[in-house]
Chain A
Amino acid sequence: MRPESHHDAPLAVTVLVSVGRHPLTGRGRRADQDARGVELSHTLTGAAVELLHAGRLDEGSEAALRGYLGMGFESLSLLEQPAGADVLPALAEALEASGPQLVIAGERAEQGEGSGLLPYLLAERLGWPLVSGLAAVEEVKEGVATLLQALPRGQRRRLQVRLPAIVTVDAAAPAPRQSAFGPARRGDVDVQAVPARDDADLAQWQAQSARKRPKRLKIVKAASARDRFKAAAAKAQGGGGQVLTEVTPEEGAEAIFKLLKEEGVLR
């Protein structure tokens, strides 16, 4: 996105992108959350957005990375790192050098350990605040960003954070646009060689494809066979529910209102 003609400097935004993995075919693709991050950067008016990736450029990853270029970018910086390297120092140095105001990342990677720690480690190392699980950026003004954080159950929370900051996007962020083929082909991948550090721990762990987790059985701790049978055959019951009969509608409504208040669902 090109910065608009504005009297002050455009907001410098860096989006960290990674190579994803298609859940069914296992092929490389745009990582879903990173693509959402890129889409989020498009919603910022007057921002100069840069894409940054640390990894290898090979047949598998090139198509995936060009997928991001097809979302309306002319170039992508790639810090060359071998497989199984710790990309934290390379990324931290690159970010320190370029000094963006806002760094957008996905919540966790779709390949490798996928622990979701990288944004936190970057924030700790750079000393920047971090906000996780973003749904939208509402406004950036005078070095303060107003953000909308996605909470479970479809709720949203409004936060203000002082820039520079790192934010991670949630699956609630706007869905990424389709990648355009032509711009993706024409786009430029700018490869920079940087020193790499091996991730020694990861190499020691045994990785295997995920086993299906055992389903938890409903364990009934009962002394007698009769109790066990009753527990197995019983319908779901609240147990000790309060029943108000012969009350006026007002009294009934009062009781319900009290419960709703206690549970904190009324705003």
Chain B
Amino acid sequence: MSDIRRRDPRKEWIARNRLHPQHLEVLAALGRGTGEEAASEWMGPHGLIRRNPRAVGFIGPNGVKRIDRSGAQQGQRAGGARASAAASKPRVEIAAPAFLVAVVPDMAGGRLTGHDRDLLGLARQLADADPAARGAVLAVVFGEHKEDDFEGAGVDRLLHLTGPEIDGFAPEARLGALVAMDRAWGPRHWLLPDSKLGGADLGRRLAARLGERPATGVWQLEADGEAPLGWRCTARGAAGTLDFQRPMPRLVLALAECAEPVSETRHAAEPLALPEALPIQLSRIQDLGQVAVDPAGVALSEAEFILSAGNGVRDWDAFHHAAEMLGATEGASRVAVDDGFMARDRQVGATGTWVTARVYVAVGISGAIQHLQGIQTCDKVVAINMDPGCDMIKRADLAVIGDSAKVLEALVALVEKSREEKRNAA
């Protein structure tokens, strides 16, 4: 169906006229329901929000009209409206872009990181600067990914490259792909994240190969008519002690929070393919895979996977065994530390360490606000708890209500079983 809203003045007139014989069916057709369900807010034909103040509220038990402003009644409706607004963000299609802005996100863990989203926001600034000749943002993604919101992040074109030769640490193969891309489409700007996750390395390799002098550590951008590309940038240098003001070069390695991420529009994220196959090259660097590191030796603030214990844990030996089997770094809530079961440097929360784990498993932690602050930046939180009403359950992406010792025991058994199967298969 097309997005254009068509008005039917006759139907609207019937909808206003309660005495009209077709009143009810027209109301149903317009999707406003009947009686007390009449919508108080809707999007008008020109995108304006129209309000019907008479439809707000409900008739109370004494026959008096009541308007509940506590949110108990309207909150749900507002939530629903916002959810639909997210789906109906204006969609921007750029059919014939004047130029391309190439972005190579890090995609740590297969998803766009916050840094990547900031970078895409920056790319949108560059692409949309001139409304008469808009550019398109082209994102290059290496390997398998789990991201499903490239549209909302501001990607117009998506080049997804997969294959055994670019998996793992393969800077030379990836560089070859980027150079082939540069030759095929000649993007006006290249943006990469200046991050340890790989963007800094790949960007510098690309700069050396293309013979461009990049701007590194860029955190600010402003339009400037005199610069060759029309932009000036501010770049951090000298171990973060100097700011360099310089015309923006073609290749930019930007820091996190260099721009606001895209939030108001949706884009096409149209898949692209390279016109020719990638050149096969002999890699001089061979990736032998990740090395198992002792999770207990990893600092809590940078651990990726934390198993954290709280007041609900009774069997501490089983907990330590589970952490060892899962390969998780151990954390603890304040109570567990105060009671002497865990060391002070293992405490997670406002008074302990603010963790950045991707997966945080809270065992027997009810979720004091100080603890929840400490795990704000965790992606996935799993809670194992007896009390279904506690705050940790509300925060968790997956919560299991039950005896933590038994669940952990079952989990360890599962992990052991899968390891055993893998060993037998190998």
Please indicate the chain B residues that have their CB under 8 angstroms from the CB of A267 in the complex: 290, 292, 327
A121 near B169 (CB under 8 angstroms)? no
Q: Is the interface of A mostly helix, strand, loop or mixed?
A: mixed
Name the one of B75, B297, B410 contacting A154, with C-beta atoms under 8 angstroms: B297
Name the one of B169, B246, B287, B289 contacting A205, with C-beta atoms under 8 angstroms: B246
Of residues 212 through 254 on chain A, the ones whose CB sits less than 8 Å from some CB of chain B are 213, 216, 219, 221, 223-224, 226-227, 230, 235-238, 241-250, 252-254
Interface size on A, residues (CB 8 A): 82
Of residues 109 through 136 on chain A, the ones whose CB sits less than 8 Å from some CB of chain B are 109-117, 120-121, 123-124, 129-133
A108 near B239 (CB under 8 angstroms)? yes
Kindly report which residue of chain B lies nearest to residue A249, judged by CB atoms. Answer: B406
Please indicate the chain B residues that have their CB under 8 angstroms from the CB of A248 in the complex: 402
Name the one of A115, A157, A255, A263 contacting B359, with C-beta atoms under 8 angstroms: A263
Judge if B245 is at the interface, Cβ distance under 8 Å: yes
Of residues 378 through 393 on chain B, the ones whose CB sits less than 8 Å from some CB of chain A are 379-382, 384, 388, 391, 393
B400 near A255 (CB under 8 angstroms)? yes
A131–B358 CA distance with the chains assembled, in angstroms:
26
A238 near B381 (CB under 8 angstroms)? yes
Q: In the complex, what's the smallest C-beta–C-beta distance from B197 to chain A, in angstroms? A: 6
A210 near B241 (CB under 8 angstroms)? yes
Which of these binds chain A: B32-40, B205-213, B309-317? Answer: B205-213
A153–B328 CA distance with the chains assembled, in angstroms:
12
A63–B325 CA distance with the chains assembled, in angstroms:
50
Interface flags for B98-111 (1: CB within 8 Å of A; 0: not) read 00000000001110
> Given A133-B196, A210-B241, are A221 and B263 neighbors across the interface (CB < 8 Å)?
yes
B327 near A263 (CB under 8 angstroms)? no
Please indicate the chain B residues that have their CB under 8 angstroms from the CB of A255 in the complex: 398, 400
Judge if A148 is at the interface, Cβ distance under 8 Å: yes
Judge if A155 is at the interface, Cβ distance under 8 Å: yes
B359 near A265 (CB under 8 angstroms)? yes
Of residues 280 through 306 on chain B, the ones whose CB sits less than 8 Å from some CB of chain A are 284-293, 297-299, 302-305
Q: In the complex, what's the smallest C-beta–C-beta distance from B97 to chain A, in angstroms? A: 27
Of A130, A165, A241, which is in contact with the most chain B CB atoms at under 10 Å from its CB? A241
B216 near A207 (CB under 8 angstroms)? no
A113 near B237 (CB under 8 angstroms)? yes
Of residues 173 through 232 on chain B, the ones whose CB sits less than 8 Å from some CB of chain A are 196-197, 200-201, 204-205, 207-209, 213-214, 216-217, 219
A254–B417 CA distance with the chains assembled, in angstroms:
12
A236 near B243 (CB under 8 angstroms)? no
A266–B323 CA distance with the chains assembled, in angstroms:
11
Judge if B278 is at the interface, Cβ distance under 8 Å: no
Judge if B395 is at the interface, Cβ distance under 8 Å: yes
Q: In the complex, what's the smallest C-beta–C-beta distance from A233 to chain B, in angstroms? A: 12
Judge if A182 is at the interface, Cβ distance under 8 Å: no
Judge if B161 is at the interface, Cβ distance under 8 Å: no
Please indicate the chain B residues that have their CB under 8 angstroms from the CB of A238 in the complex: 381, 394-397
Q: Is the interface of B mostly helix, strand, loop or mixed?
A: mixed
Judge if B326 is at the interface, Cβ distance under 8 Å: yes
A260–B135 CA distance with the chains assembled, in angstroms:
40
Please indicate the chain A residues that have their CB under 8 angstroms from the CB of B372 in the complex: 235-236
Name the one of A124, A162, A243, A257 contacting B284, with C-beta atoms under 8 angstroms: A162
B238 near A21 (CB under 8 angstroms)? yes
Tally inter-chain residue pairs, CB-CB below 8 A.
Answer: 255
Q: In the complex, what's the smallest C-beta–C-beta distance from A144 to chain B, in angstroms? A: 9
Judge if B129 is at the interface, Cβ distance under 8 Å: no
Interface size on B, residues (CB 8 A): 96
Please indicate the chain A residues that have their CB under 8 angstroms from the CB of B246 in the complex: 201, 204-206
Q: In the complex, what's the smallest C-beta–C-beta distance from B244 to chain A, in angstroms? A: 5
Judge if B399 is at the interface, Cβ distance under 8 Å: yes
Judge if A160 is at the interface, Cβ distance under 8 Å: yes
A201 near B213 (CB under 8 angstroms)? yes
Name the one of A117, A223, A237 contacting B207, with C-beta atoms under 8 angstroms: A117
Please indicate the chain B residues that have their CB under 8 angstroms from the CB of A227 in the complex: 78, 82
Please indicate the chain B residues that have their CB under 8 angstroms from the CB of A159 in the complex: 169, 285-288
Of A111, A129, A209, A213, which is in contact with the most chain B CB atoms at under 10 Å from its CB? A213
Please indicate the chain B residues that have their CB under 8 angstroms from the CB of A152 in the complex: 108, 196-197, 302
Judge if A194 is at the interface, Cβ distance under 8 Å: no
B304 near A265 (CB under 8 angstroms)? yes
Q: In the complex, what's the smallest C-beta–C-beta distance from B347 to chain A, in angstroms? A: 18
Q: In the complex, what's the smallest C-beta–C-beta distance from B258 to chain A, in angstroms? A: 10
A224–B299 CA distance with the chains assembled, in angstroms:
43
Please indicate the chain A residues that have their CB under 8 angstroms from the CB of B201 in the complex: 132-133
Please indicate the chain A residues that have their CB under 8 angstroms from the CB of B207 in the complex: 117, 120
Name the one of A109, A158, A246 contacting B288, with C-beta atoms under 8 angstroms: A158
A153 near B204 (CB under 8 angstroms)? no
A252 near B384 (CB under 8 angstroms)? yes
Judge if B242 is at the interface, Cβ distance under 8 Å: yes
A250–B402 CA distance with the chains assembled, in angstroms:
10
Judge if B369 is at the interface, Cβ distance under 8 Å: yes
A244–B393 CA distance with the chains assembled, in angstroms:
10
Q: In the complex, what's the smallest C-beta–C-beta distance from B33 to chain A, in angstroms? A: 22
24 contacts between A and B (CB under 8 A): A115-B216, A129-B285, A152-B197, A153-B303, A153-B304, A155-B293, A156-B293, A159-B288, A213-B257, A221-B263, A226-B69, A235-B369, A238-B395, A241-B399, A242-B398, A248-B402, A252-B400, A252-B407, A253-B408, A253-B411, A254-B410, A255-B398, A256-B407, A266-B327
Interface, chain B (partner A; CB < 8 A): 49, 69, 71, 75, 78, 82, 108-110, 169, 171-172, 196-197, 200-201, 204-205, 207-209, 213-214, 216-217, 219, 236-246, 257, 260, 263-264, 284-293, 297-299, 302-305, 326-328, 358-359, 361, 369, 372-373, 376, 379-382, 384, 388, 391, 393-403, 406-411, 413-415, 418
